[in-house]
Structure 1
Amino acid sequence: MEKQRLISSYDEVNDTFVGKIDGQNGYCADYSISEGIFLSIDKNNIPTSVLVNNASKVFNISKKVLENSNVEIDINCDKICLYFTMFIENLQICSIRCKNKYGIPNISFKIDSNY
């Protein structure tokens, strides 16, 4: 599993969560992996950022919880499925499995704000 440092922010007014891998700039493609959750990847099909619109509704949690900076995102992918799991303060707030129709190769990433 590759481990990267996560820089996350939450905009309470717009209810938008953004998580970006430290040191990564730009993206090649942006995929909607679930209702309101977008995954950006670079030209090598490696995740660079996550955007969640209407985050409190998508995750069904309070805006106060989303303001916490202790965030970890696990992204795993094989030829068939993409798995996305998000934790705040070690509490799992989201777990998604979707078909890998994006052409993302076999990857295993842990993006952690405490790395």
Structure 2
Amino acid sequence: MKKRLISSYDEINDTFVGKVDGEKGYRADYGISDGIYLGINNSNMPTSVFIPNASEVFNTSKELLESADVKINIDCSESCLCFDMCIENSKICSIKCKNSFGIPKMKCLIDSNI
């Protein structure tokens, strides 16, 4: 499944926020890694990403985080959540963690260029 990502980066507060366009509802934010939070709606589907101290979390420049070319890939099974984030076609984050969040089996590309 493909979804459109609306993202913004606040350089002063070093905060990255991404929202899945058209998704509504909110149930919880889950820390899927140090400093990376995934928002989930009432249907257990990802709706947003929040990353405070983003340049430190990703160990990258603030200038790169200002790019509008952002892609997030979420691949989830009953037991495992894989989260990859690319900016300007460069992978800046790859996380694999236990799916203790109730997210159903899914593969989703959330892309700012859709």
Q: CA RMSD of the aligned region, Å?
A: 0.8
Deviation of 1:8 after TM superposition, in Å, equals 0.3
Structure-2 separation of matches of 1:32 and 1:93: 18
> What's the TM-score once normalised by structure 2's chain length?
0.97
Matched, 1:22 2:39: no
Aligned to 2:62: 63
- The alignment-based identity, stated in percent, is 61
Aligned to 2:3: 4
Aligned to 2:30: 31
What secondary structure does 1:104 align onto? coil
> What's the TM-score once normalised by structure 1's chain length?
0.96
Letter in 1 for 2:33: S
Deviations 1:59-89 (A, max 9, x none): 0000000000100000111011100000000
Deviation of 1:32 after TM superposition, in Å, equals 0.3
**Aligned ranges for residues 1-115 of structure 1 at < 5 Å?**
2-115=1-114
Gapped regions of structure 2 (runs ≥ 5):
none
Deviation of 1:90 after TM superposition, in Å, equals 0.5
